[in-house]
Structures are given as C-alpha cells and as structure tokens.
Amino acid sequence: MREMTSPTDAAARATPAAAQQPDWPDPARVDRVRRRLRALPPPVAPAAVDRLRGRLAEVAHGRALLLQGGDCAETFAGNTPAHIRANLRTLLHTATLLEVASGLPVVPVGRVAGQYAKPRSNPYDTDGLPSYRGDLVNATTPTAAARTPDPARLLRAHADARATLGVLDAVAAETRTELFAGHEALLLDYEIPLTRRAPDGARRGLSGHFLWIGERTRQPGGAHVEFARGIANPVGVKVGPGTTPAEVLAYADALDPHRSPGRLTLISRMGADRVADALPPLVTAVAAAGHPVIWLCDPMHGNTVVANSGHKTRHFDTILAEIRGFFAVHAALGTHPGGLHLEFTGDDVTECLGGSQDLRDTDLPTRYDTACDPRLNARQTLDLTCLIAKTLLTPTTPRKPLNIA
C-alpha cells in the first residue's frame, strides 16, 4: 500500500505526458497486473544494482570502460538458452578484447532480461495497424488482434526476465565474471511496480540493474526523467543530434544532483556524420559544470538506413566511423570515452551490411530475424572490436580522466 503513494508512483501518474505508452483497451486490467507485479519478487537484487553503480564509478573516473550490448528487442520466443548464451558470449568476447587492448577493466552490461518495449516513431504501421511496441505490449503478427496491447504480457515479461537472469547468472558463474542486465525503461506500467524501497529508504528499479531513457522519451521534466529521478540505480539517457547543452545540463542536475560518479551515463547516438559537430558542445558543457557523467557511444541508432529490399539496416563502416568520431572528440577534449552501447547478437544473422563477410543488400533477406532494429552478427561484432582495439585503445593511448570537482 505504501508503494501506491510513493513519490515515484505519484509523479508518474501526475505527469499526463508520458510519451510512447500503449493505449490499453482495459485500464482496470492494467491496474490488476500492476498490483500483481508489486507483489512478485522483482527480477534483480538491490545489492547487484549497487555493485554495478560502484563499478560504473570507476568508469566515470576514467579507470574502466562500460560495454552495453545485445538485441534491439528481445522476444519471448527468442528467450532460449542458446540465444541468450550466444548473445552473452559475444558480450564477453567483446569485453575481453577491449580489456586487453585498453588495459582497463570492462564492465559488461547486456541489453537483456527486460529489453521488451520499443518506442515507435509512428503509432501505426504501413498497413494502418497499431505498430508493434515490443513483446511487452503486443505481437509482431500483422493482425488487429495481435497488435492490441495486452497487459498479461507484463507478467510474461517478468517471468521471462527472471528466467533469462538465471541463464545470465549461470554464464557469470561459468566464466567467473560479473554480468549485469540493462534495458530501456520505457513502459512505466512495468517499471514503476517493479521498484522497491529498501530499509535504507532508497527506492531502486529492480526490473534490471541499469535502466536508460530513450531518445524519444527524454523530455526534461517528462514522466521518464521523473521516474529515473526517483530510483537509485545507475541510469542512462540517450542523446541524439538535436540535444542541446541546456538539456544535458538539465539531465545532470535532475538525475545526478549529488554529482555521484557512476550514477549517470549519457549515451551519444549522433550519427557518423554528425558526431564531430554535435557531441563536443555537450561534453564541454557537462565537463565545465563538473558533472562526472559517463559518455557512452551508441553508433547504431544514428546510422539506420532502409535498403532497396525495404529492410532497415546499418553499414559496418558507418558504425565504425561513428565510434572513431566519438573517440576523436574525447581525445581532443581530454575527456574519457567511457565505452560502447551496441546492438548485436551471437547468432549468424544478416541484418547489418559489410564487415569481413562483406554482407550486401541482397544478403539481408537470408537471416533477417530481428523484431526491431538490425544487429551486428557475431562475426561483425568481432571484426568491429578488433578494429577499435587496434586503432583506438592501444595501451599507449593517453587517458586524461575527467577532473571531478
């Protein structure tokens, strides 16, 4: 009962403008599901959330790197041990290569065990049906019934997240690493009921260890920023090329008022041709204000194109170009390039172009399995990491940690 009147709940309810929420046909059913989620054991443990925050403090200080990666959209059907393990293997291989190249520890955070909700630019698809919003909301099948938002999916997501975390814990034990789970905190009817207040008084979001706000829901003062303000997790905000210095300062003030290293990650997703111009004013503004944010490079979401075949895709070279641009900006400003946020899978898909396999437009239909955005396959991820390792993260690269006030 106490949770129903918590500041987080009240803030989210009082904010009418929560962007990208489904139009539930039966709100009373959503309320019942929310009550059930509040009663269930949450997916992750508060202590693990705090451990991640501690490890991210090292990233903020310039003494470690952060690697986030996995599916654009996890699906319930795709939640098999083989798929989860393949993605985590790719995450760990990438982390190891970056560690060897940089001489710095790498903190691995999967886009996993909760990456079930998708923001959409258009509420309707080309057939006039409600858009697919992720398995948390509706199904990809192009029928009106399948696209109707179904709150029972919140309970399925909770169960699948817990099962996925079981695999993640097994992989962590086998590899003697600590693995963390993160996702976009988009659907507030899922995220808010999975927050818990600990005896220390702090509320944490326990749907995942790391929660981020997407480019489409990052309105300063909006419901998602208010949600993130109310939880003690490490949180991220995606920032695209339209982001202003005033906005990033607003995120820093709202989400990290105590200037606590590890609390806030800004995930730059500018596009390869914009990063050199769009990123420096933002990095300069937060550095000048003394905020110890982590800067992460998402080289995927600013570089999506539509192939002749109609498939959404991204070219390996463009992805690499944005990463190089990101590192160049930080080298010029003397700030720490905190790491990468990627969409990849360990499966042998054909969704992105290029790489050593030289995938072409005509290859895309072969194994285009993503439920949303195109992912690098295992080989392309390895190719990319080797190139980054070779050119950008040699142990001799001078590193000037951000001077935290």
Residues at the site binding Mn ion, with contacts judged by CB under 5 A? 72, 373
* Residue 263 binds ligand PEP, judged by CB under 6 A: no
Q: Which is nearer to ligand PEP, 62 or 70 (CB)?
A: 70
Residue type present at position 190: Y
- For the bound state, the minimum distance from the C-beta of residue 220 to ligand PEP, rounded and expressed in Å, comes to 16
Strand bridging mode 180-184 / 65-70: unpaired
Q: Which is nearer to ligand PEP, 214 or 292 (CB)?
A: 214
Interaction with ligand PEP in 24-63: which residues (CB under 6 A)?
none
Strand ranges in 191-278 using DSSP code E only, listed in sequence order = 195-197, 203-205, 210-213, 235-239, 264-268
Q: Which is nearer to ligand PEP, 301 or 315 (CB)?
A: 301
Pure H helices in 103-150: 144-147
Which residues in 235-257 are b (16+ Cβ under 10 Å) and which e?
A: bbbbbbbebeeebbbbbbebbbe
* Residue 99 binds ligand PEP, judged by CB under 6 A: no
- For the bound state, the minimum distance from the C-beta of residue 301 to ligand PEP, rounded and expressed in Å, comes to 4
Q: Which is nearer to ligand PEP, 203 or 238 (CB)?
A: 238
* Residue 224 binds ligand PEP, judged by CB under 6 A: no
- For the bound state, the minimum distance from the C-beta of residue 366 to Mn ion, rounded and expressed in Å, comes to 21
CA-angle at 265, arms to 264 and 269, nearest 5°: 145
Instruction: Tell me the site size for ligand PEP, rule CB under 6 A.
Output: 10
User: Among 24-32, 175-183, 198-206, 209-217, which window interacts with ligand PEP (CB under 6 A)?
Assistant: 209-217
Q: Which is nearer to Mn ion, 182 or 261 (CB)?
A: 182
Q: Which does 89 bind (CB under 5 to 8 A by kind): ligand PEP, Mn ion, none?
A: none
- d(CA 154, CA 168) in angstroms, rounded, equals 21
User: Among 142-150, 213-221, 249-257, 305-313, which window interacts with ligand PEP (CB under 6 A)?
Assistant: 213-221
User: Among 19-27, 124-132, 208-216, 330-338, which window interacts with ligand PEP (CB under 6 A)?
Assistant: 208-216
* Residue 269 binds ligand PEP, judged by CB under 6 A: yes
Question: Among 72, 98, 225, 329, which residue sits at the site for ligand PEP (rule: CB under 6 A)?
Answer: 72
Interaction with ligand PEP in 116-145: which residues (CB under 6 A)?
119
Query: CB nearest ligand PEP: which residue?
Result: 214
Q: Are 166 and 113 in contact (CB under 8 A)?
A: no
User: Among 6-14, 79-87, 214-222, 356-364, which window interacts with ligand PEP (CB under 6 A)?
Assistant: 214-222
Q: Which does 119 bind (CB under 5 to 8 A by kind): ligand PEP, Mn ion, none?
A: ligand PEP
- d(CA 211, CA 46) in angstroms, rounded, equals 13
Q: Which is nearer to ligand PEP, 149 or 236 (CB)?
A: 236
DSSP string, 265-297: EEEE---TTTHHHHHHHHHHHHHHTT--PEEEE
Which residues in 297-334 are b (16+ Cβ under 10 Å) and which e?
A: bbbbbbbeeebeeebbbbbbebbbbbbbbbbbbbeebe
Count of CA atoms in the C-beta half-sphere (13 A) of 57: 9
CA-angle at 262, arms to 209 and 34, nearest 5°: 30
Question: Among 53, 238, 330, 375, which residue sits at the site for ligand PEP (rule: CB under 6 A)?
Answer: 238
* Token code pair at residue 280: 């420096």
Q: Which is nearer to Mn ion, 51 or 120 (CB)?
A: 120
Q: Which does 215 bind (CB under 5 to 8 A by kind): ligand PEP, Mn ion, none?
A: ligand PEP
* Residue 69 binds ligand PEP, judged by CB under 6 A: no
- d(CA 132, CA 111) in angstroms, rounded, equals 19
Pure H helices in 103-151: 144-147
Q: Which does 238 bind (CB under 5 to 8 A by kind): ligand PEP, Mn ion, none?
A: ligand PEP
* Residue 355 binds ligand PEP, judged by CB under 6 A: no
121: left (phi over 0), alpha (psi -120 to 50) or beta: alpha
Q: Which is nearer to ligand PEP, 213 or 378 (CB)?
A: 213
Pure H helices in 239-365: 245-255, 275-288, 316-333
* Residue 383 binds ligand PEP, judged by CB under 6 A: no
| DSSP 8-state secondary structure symbol assigned to residue 333 | H
* Residue 373 binds ligand PEP, judged by CB under 6 A: yes
- d(CA 247, CA 142) in angstroms, rounded, equals 38
* Footprint on this chain of ligand PEP (rule: CB under 6 A): 72, 119, 184, 214-216, 238, 269, 301, 373
